[in-house]
């Protein structure tokens, strides 16, 4: 199969910011993929570990998990995109808390041509613009996505992914 191309990993945000719980993920129809103008984007895991050395010279590590976040930069304002409207309103109205919470869908299409369902996760997240403005390329609203709540494993069908409207189903992917 060879190395996996970057487009196999896709991140979508629910743009209406109405569905805020993973239990509502199956009803989301407003997923919008992130990445139109972005050349590189990664989920930064931000591992939370702490090391201490005792008087015997032994090192002990406390592992508190992760504090994942993702930077989407640039994000050029496009009035035809629903995500633009949400980001504009969060930034210009200085929204905070629950008004910035939505769902993120993460899909890894790492199967073969015969694969009908792809592994996916839905995560409750907070979306916060880092700035707005920019240069001559256009109005830029780079933003950060931070985990804020439950994360659920499931799958999306190949057909729904290809249609541009992924449909998330909780549970183990079916063959």
Q: What percent of the chain has pLDDT over 90?
A: 90
- Res 83 pLDDT > 90: yes
Q: Which residue has the tokens 């069908």?
A: 157
Strand partners, 108: 9, 119
pLDDT at 1 over 70: no
- Are 88 and 77 spatial neighbours (Cβ–Cβ below 8 Å)? yes
Which residue carries 């992914």 as its tokens?
161
Q: What is the mean pLDDT of the chain?
A: 94
DSSP of 71-120: EE---B--TTSHHHHHHHHHHHTT--GGGGEEEEEEEE--S-TT--EEEE
Tokens of 159: 């057909």
- Rounded-to-integer distance, Cα 8 and Cα 5, Å: 6
Count Cα atoms within 13 angstroms, Cβ side, for 130: 15
Q: What is residue 73's three-state secondary structure? A: coil
Contact 37, 143 (CB under 8 A): no
pLDDT attached to residue 175: 60
Closest to 125 measured CA to CA, from 60, 59, 44, 69: 69
**pLDDT digits 0-9 by tens, 11-54:** 999 998 988 899 999 999 999 999 999 999 999 999 999 999 99
CA angle 101, 107, 112 (to 5 degrees): 175
């Amino acid at each position: 199969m060879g190395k996996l191309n970057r487009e196999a990993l896709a991140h979508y945000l629910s743009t209406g910011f109405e569905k805020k719980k993973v239990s509502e993920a199956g009803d989301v129809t407003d997923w919008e993929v992130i990445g139109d103008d972005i050349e590189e984007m990664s989920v930064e895991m931000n591992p939370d570990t702490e090391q201490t050395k005792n008087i015997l010279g032994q090192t002990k590590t406390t592992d508190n998990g992760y504090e994942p976040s993702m930077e989407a930069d640039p994000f050029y304002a496009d009035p035809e995109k629903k995500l633009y409207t949400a980001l504009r309103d969060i930034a210009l109205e200085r929204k905070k808390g629950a008004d910035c919470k939505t769902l993120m869908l993460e899909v890894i299409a790492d199967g073969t041509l015969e694969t009908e369902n792809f592994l996916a996760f839905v995560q409750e997240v907070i979306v916060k613009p880092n700035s707005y403005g920019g240069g001559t390329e256009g109005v830029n609203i780079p933003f950060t996505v931070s985990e804020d709540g439950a994360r659920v494993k499931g799958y999306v069908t190949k057909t729904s992914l290809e249609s541009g409207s992924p449909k998330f189903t909780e549970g183990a992917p079916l063959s």
